[in-house]
Structure 1
Amino acid sequence: MDTLQAIIIAIIEGLTEYLPVSSTGHMIFASSYFGIQNDDFVKLFQVSIQFGAILAVVMLYWRKFFNFTKINFFIKLACAVVPALVLGKLFDDKIEAVLGDPIPIAVVLILGGIVLLFIDNYFKNPTIVKEEDIPVKKAVAIGFWQCLAMMPGTSRSAASIIGGMQQGLSRQAAAEFSFFLAVPTMLAATCYSVFLKTYETSQLKGYELILKSEGNIKMFLIGNVVAFIVALLAIKFFIGMIKQYGFRPWGWYRIIVGSFLLLYFIYLK
């Protein structure tokens, strides 16, 4: 992976992490197009640059994350992230096996798009419009919904937003809680990938891959900075879009992009 490829993948991460379109799927398609999808550092890079996107949420919602008088907010996030931590650890190897094949990811992208076409009509009467009104039980339920995103192409954002709406949250409340829940979820995934996981081909830990060369260190830092800046813009854009248009545009986007990519990888690649 060269620096330009790293920047492109980081832009994709920042743009898509908080949109219901699957950031992992988009990054895998990009790395497959570049022919670098099987490189251990690329696999690590695609997870580790989530840290930049995490910082974007913390910065935009700093009043939430640095208001330690409202401990219930942190309790809800801690409880809601447990399902992803447990199931993620149990199925890590199986998830890794799917990451190298873009075709099932394209199929899941299309199926998720079909769901988003109808989600606004299905959940019409929300009862919760603020994070403060979400009980712990509902937060945990949303955490289980988030686990659907372990299949690449599903979208962590889409799964948790749909779960939030199913639990009675408004579109905006579901989207914002999805952002909040992303912080501990993605932080755990990033720390695991960097400090604990041994990569199969190189037999190195993530941090060893990063420190292996000056080029890897540079790409790791650039990737996180780019993902941070782009995610800041994407979050603000997404909130405005769902207020005005709901989730239907994202459903059509997933169907069109997924169909194109499915055809590409079956017939043209």
Structure 2
Amino acid sequence: MDPILLLKALILGVVEGLTEFLPISSTGHLIIGGSLLDYTNEQSKVFKIVIQLAAILAVCWLYRERITQVAGGLRSDPVQQRFVGLLMVGFMPAAVLGLMFHSTIKTYLFNPLTVAGALIVGGFLILYIERKVYQPRINSVDEMRWSDALKVGFAQALAMFPGTSRSGATIMGGLIFGLSRKTATEFSFFLAIPTMFAATLYDVYKNWAILRLEDLPVFAVGFVASFIAAMLSVKALVRYISNHDFTVFAWYRIVFGVIVLLTAQMGWVEWTA
């Protein structure tokens, strides 16, 4: 196996794990990173599916107690039934719109320059939202109403545009709609589980023909790197939000996006989709 390819897998796995649950767009970083590392072939399509799955499994592991509690009470506990119902309501907008526009978005929007623009716009939106004063009326996921879940679900659907950030859209949307910062972040993590599992299964179905056994070492390296990085990232984010807002992530998005556009304009990097 090519050691350079394994190194690319390691780097991109870490990138996916670190960025998946931060409001900076993991998809955008993978598109830019894949272009920079010249890893945009057919194998890379399946690879990105594998490392995304690793990231969501990391969240499942971290929140395994709550998931076990929900599974155990799903048949008889109204609280757990309502919790799952909220997730399904929040999941539906992205599911419906994703089926409608998935192919179009991947064809026309999955390129580094589009991502850079979305990173910049999203960064300024985060700055705007953080400077507004939103009084939270919901301090735990269990206090959410069906309408709250639906609104956050539509916010999540905005992340179909690469570079927007699924976690950023759901967390910022949650703040606007009255969720506390902690509640918005936790609901974003839980909502990621059905959303990302569905997206992964759909992508596997679409790319089944290019799955190859000889690619397993590359996928394994990326999977482990993404899993570990995602666990570290989620733990760090939960600690961070207890005393900070998301302004630092907004400025990171803006600076990163400007750098990508500048390198393209100056001809320093030949970005490819």
* 1:87 paired to 2:97: yes
| Structure 2 partner of 1:202 | none
Match of 1:125, SS? coil
The one-letter code of the counterpart of 2:93 is P
Unaligned runs of 5+ in 2: 74-79
Q: Closer, same or farther in 2 for the Cα pair 1:153/1:52, shift >3 Å?
A: same
Q: Distance in 2 between matches of 1:149 and 1:230?
A: 22
| 1:258 alignment partner in structure 2 | 257
What is the identity percentage for the equivalent residue pairs of Structure 1 and Structure 2? 40
Matched, 1:166 2:165: no
User: Which of the numbers 117, 142, 148 marks the counterpart of 1:138?
Assistant: 148
Matches within 5 A, 1:185-224: 185-194=195-204, 196-197=205-206, 205-206=207-208, 208-210=209-211, 212-214=212-214, 216-224=215-223
Amino acid at match of 1:25: G
Picking from 55, 61, 66, the partner of 2:57 is 55
- State the superposition RMSD in angstroms: 1.5
Identify the residue that residue 248 of structure 1 maps to in structure 2.
Answer: 247
Q: State the number of aligned residues.
A: 257
Alignment of 1:71 with 2:93, yes or no, is no
Q: SS at the partner of 2:162?
A: coil
Decide which of 7, 12, 15 is 2:10's aligned counterpart: 7
Q: Is the 8 A contact 1:81 1:184 kept in 2?
A: yes
1:42 equivalent in structure 2: 44
Q: Which amino acid aligns with 1:122?
A: K
Q: TM-score, normalised by structure 1?
A: 0.91
Inter-partner Cα distance in structure 1 for 2:56 and 2:196: 7
Does residue 33 of structure 1 match 2:32?
Answer: no
Contact 1:98/1:152, CA 8 A, preserved across alignment: no
**Secondary structure, in 3 states, of the residue corresponding to 1:154?**
coil
From 11, 17, 27, the equivalent of 1:24 is 27
Please give the alpha-carbon distance, in whole angstroms, between the structure 1 residues aligned to 2:242 and 2:108. Answer: 34
Deviation string, structure 1 residues 181-236 (Cα, Å, up to 9, x no partner) = 00110000111111x21xxxxxxx33x423x242x122222222211111000011
Between the aligned partners of 2:241 and 2:257, the Cα distance in structure 1 is 21
User: How high is the TM-score relative to the length of structure 2?
Assistant: 0.90
Deviation at 1:99, TM superposition (A): 4.8
Query: What secondary structure does 1:91 align onto?
Result: helix
The runs of 4+ residues in structure 1 deviating greater than 4 Å are none
Structure 1: gaps of 5 or more residues = 198-204
Judging changes above 3 Å, is the alpha-carbon distance between structure 1 residues 100 and 163 closer, same or farther for their aligned structure 2 residues? closer
Show CA shifts across 1:72-103 (max 9, x none): 11111112111111111111111112354211
Instruction: Name the CA shift for 1:123/1:191 in 2 (closer, same or farther; >3 Å).
Output: farther
* Post-superposition offset of 1:134: 0.9
